[in-house]
Amino acid sequence: MKAFNIFKAALIGFAVMSSTPQGAFAEKLRVMTGSPSGVLNVPMNRAVVVESDEPFTEVSVANAEIADISTLSERSIYVLGRTPGMTTMTLLAPDGSLITNVQVQVTPDLTEFKERLRQIMPNESIEVRTANDGIVLSGMISSVTMMDRAVELAERYAPGRVSNLLNIGGTQQVMLKVRFAEMSRSVSKNLTASLGVEYGGNDATSSALLGGTASGDGQGQFSIGGTIGDTELSILLEAMEEKGVSRTLAEPNLTALSGQQAKFLAGGEYPIPVSDDDGISIEYKPFGVELEFIPRVINGDQINLEMRAAVSGVDSSVNYTANGFTVNSFKRRETSTTVELRDGQSFAIAGLLEDDFEDLIGQVPWLGDIPVLGALFRSTDYSRSQSELVIIVTPHLVTPTNGLALSLPTDRVKIPSEKEMFLFGKTLGGTSAPKSGGAAEVAKQDFSGSYGYVME
């Protein structure tokens, strides 16, 4: 019988070892009769052998889904961890008395998890611990991206039971410098010729005007005429040319924490009447330079930038009138994009070259088609406008600095004294112009006084 029991225990042990997952190992825990049993820690998908000082005839586990047990002999038990959690294993002696209760705690396999962390993120200082039936990650990590990878990997070993206590090192504040630059130019030419004929005789007068109509402002007009008998002839020529150049430059700077949204508006709000059940209400539409962005520090100095930028303005040349209200239209140029770049690098995220051309010829039918003389019966308008807009973004990783190192536009502007104002006609008091930096370059232009700020 004894030989049979040994043979049976050997078969059971062989079967259990065959069903053990690859890479599992067996550790030993000795249970002494009459002494308190501590907590038996069993890694998930790994095994522990429990040896009893006294032979037992019956062994049971409270929750077989957490730990699976098999007897190897009358003194040895094979415990296999299946699911993270805690359960109780009970050993009974041949006379039915209790030998001991062993608290079995199955935890995620940290050995394999730590090895995977070292392989995937060898330069990160991550500490791994167990808490109850979960994994606790702590320490310092370089970026949000690396933290997400570590948490995702931990979720594979303890789904839904990962505590993230990692701290992100490095700079996590991003200052976005955006330059809006727009150049627009326009030219318009107008040539109008008209022929006037007036006949008077026998106390009756008749007149006719052939050709275009003059503007009447007297600019660029030339008139010549004469009288033949009772008929008076006059020729009016009007030639006008207009040229214009417009330059718009805005450089907003805005700082935000990684992953947080920041908004910027330099402009105003235009009132728009809106009809509803209660009558007429006013809604305000913003215009000017608008900027919204969400920076994300990915790894080191690499920045993922999700942003929307717009330049808009009121266009008084196009309007809408209803119920006594006149509303102007808006010119708007907008871009929305996501880019990745490093600290200090720049992208031209938007560029627009617009070229508008328009001409208009008005003439007297048939007479305007006469070669050479037909110019006296025509009116010609020509206009062309070009505009170019470029938006350049440059992100910088920034940290706070001492407030004394920063200056404001008002720091170098002083209120003039009565002597300076009344005797010398100065609107500003004594100022100290900046010697270097962007503010110094702007101050060199032909504006009175110094202005600008310093930001590092």
| pLDDT for residue 109 is more than 50 | yes
| C-alpha span between 217 and 36 (Å, rounded) | 112
Question: Are 297 and 147 a contacting pair, CB within 8 Å?
Answer: no
Q: Which domain holds residue 410?
A: 404-446
Mean pLDDT of the chain: 77
In a domain, residue 264? The reply is yes
114 SS3 class: helix
Average of per-residue pLDDT across 195-205: 62
Please indicate, yes or no, whether residues 56 and 146 belong to a single structural domain of this protein.
Answer: no
Structure tokens given for 204: 């009756």
- How confident is residue 279, by pLDDT bands cut at 50, 70 and 90? confident
Final residue in a domain of this structure, among 73, 107, 141? 107
Number of independent structural domains in the chain: 4
In a domain, residue 188? The reply is no
In a domain, residue 129? The reply is yes
The pLDDT score that the predictor gives to residue 324 is 75
Q: Sign of the CA dihedral 419, 420, 421, 422?
A: positive
Query: Strand pairing of 347-363 and 378-398?
Result: antiparallel
Half-sphere exposure of 438 (CA within 13 A, CB side): 8
| C-alpha span between 222 and 237 (Å, rounded) | 5
| pLDDT for residue 213 is more than 70 | no
pLDDT digits (tens, 9 = 90+) for 414-442: 788 888 888 888 877 766 666 666 556 65
Please indicate, yes or no, whether residues 75 and 159 belong to a single structural domain of this protein.
Answer: no
- Across 28-32, 194-198, 245-249, the highest mean pLDDT is recorded for 245-249
| pLDDT for residue 334 is more than 70 | yes
Higher pLDDT, 370 or 60: 60
| pLDDT for residue 455 is more than 70 | no
Please indicate, yes or no, whether residues 260 and 393 belong to a single structural domain of this protein.
Answer: yes
| pLDDT for residue 7 is more than 50 | no
pLDDT digits (tens, 9 = 90+) for 157-185: 888 888 999 887 767 889 998 888 888 88
| pLDDT for residue 106 is more than 60 | yes
Please indicate, yes or no, whether residues 149 and 253 belong to a single structural domain of this protein.
Answer: no
pLDDT digits (tens, 9 = 90+) for 121-146: 888 888 888 877 788 999 888 777 78
Average of per-residue pLDDT across 8-23: 39
pLDDT digits (tens, 9 = 90+) for 261-271: 999 888 888 88
Backbone angles phi, psi at 395, to 5 degrees: -90, 150
Please indicate, yes or no, whether residues 282 and 388 belong to a single structural domain of this protein.
Answer: yes
| Eight-class DSSP state of 417 | P
Least confident of 356-360, 379-383, 405-409: 405-409
Please indicate, yes or no, whether residues 284 and 422 belong to a single structural domain of this protein.
Answer: no
Least confident of 68-72, 403-407, 451-455: 451-455
In a domain, residue 18? The reply is no
Please indicate, yes or no, whether residues 152 and 178 belong to a single structural domain of this protein.
Answer: no
How far from 77 is each of 15, 55, 71, 377, CA to CA, in Å?
A: 14, 11, 4, 116
Sequence-distant (≥ 6) Cβ neighbours of residue 132 within 8 angstroms:
86, 161
Extended strands (E) in 169-261: 173-201, 204-211, 221-228, 231-250, 253-257
Residue that has been written with the tokens 């040994």 in this structure: 6
In a domain, residue 298? The reply is yes
* CATH code: domain of residue 87: 2.60.40.1080
Please indicate, yes or no, whether residues 257 and 357 belong to a single structural domain of this protein.
Answer: yes
In a domain, residue 410? The reply is yes
Please indicate, yes or no, whether residues 276 and 343 belong to a single structural domain of this protein.
Answer: yes
The pLDDT score that the predictor gives to residue 277 is 78
Please indicate, yes or no, whether residues 439 and 297 belong to a single structural domain of this protein.
Answer: no
Please indicate, yes or no, whether residues 387 and 351 belong to a single structural domain of this protein.
Answer: yes
In a domain, residue 91? The reply is yes
| pLDDT for residue 114 is more than 60 | yes
The pLDDT score that the predictor gives to residue 36 is 58
- How confident is residue 4, by pLDDT bands cut at 50, 70 and 90? very low
Residue that has been written with the tokens 């003389």 in this structure: 373
Provide the residue type at 340 as one letter: E
| C-alpha span between 208 and 431 (Å, rounded) | 68
The pLDDT score that the predictor gives to residue 294 is 92
Please indicate, yes or no, whether residues 277 and 326 belong to a single structural domain of this protein.
Answer: yes
| C-alpha span between 110 and 133 (Å, rounded) | 12
Backbone angles phi, psi at 353, to 5 degrees: -110, 120
In a domain, residue 21? The reply is no
